[in-house]
Structure 1
């Protein structure tokens, strides 16, 4: 058990011959008591400060733990957002590729259809040209042939008939 200032104050020493001067010893003990009381007060203050500091340390340790957990949760949330964004981006890219393939296929189909229509039109134009050429050649043959001269002669002979003259 530690020594208290009261223990020092109440301490009685036995008396002997030629002992120490009692007043000096009492003065010294009074000084020791004062100093010891100061030390005890300081010790109590330091102990209270230590408790307050320990309480603050515990509080900050709790805050640190909470912040660590919060950072971990935030990191996990960020990772989730990042992963979801990657998945969404992949879906968008796949959808865009599908649309691009569809557009290309539709364009190819339209291109083939137009090419077939162009070929059909070329064939029809070729047939038309051949028929027109045949018609023109037939008309030229008719114009350059004997039949035209015969028609001209007939027309001249009809001009001389009264019936034809009436028509004019």
Structure 2
């Protein structure tokens, strides 16, 4: 997996008709910030899943303990007087209800986490697809722009127009990224 540090340390070869280094560096800085945020968020979510898995394990242990307690309570209830049996049955019923409530609560929490996880996976896929489309559109636009320059079809006003379109598209992508983070 690529880390934010890998992006930051990536060096590109320079060529005669290469990209402007400042623009590429600026764009990579933006990618590093966004990727680092997503990278940290992913780590936090993994930690949260681990914590919830531990809680589920505790609830399962509690369920086993409750079952064992019920068996002991049943045996004890048979050995005591009628009033003692009645008290034991009340305790058992309360323990079963509480255990079911805890288990149901834990299961609901797991379902919620799974839904959130699936939603985040989908959002990451959407972001990747949009970002990939943006990059591809920019490459096509740049190819057309440079072909126009080579053919002598591009004038200064066309260059300004293409720059304005590029800035508008970049603003749309930044807004999209910011909306996903909100």
TM-score range, shorter chain: 0.3 to 0.5
Larger RCO: 1 or 2 (CA < 8 Å, sep 6+): 2
TM-score, structure 2 normalization? 0.40
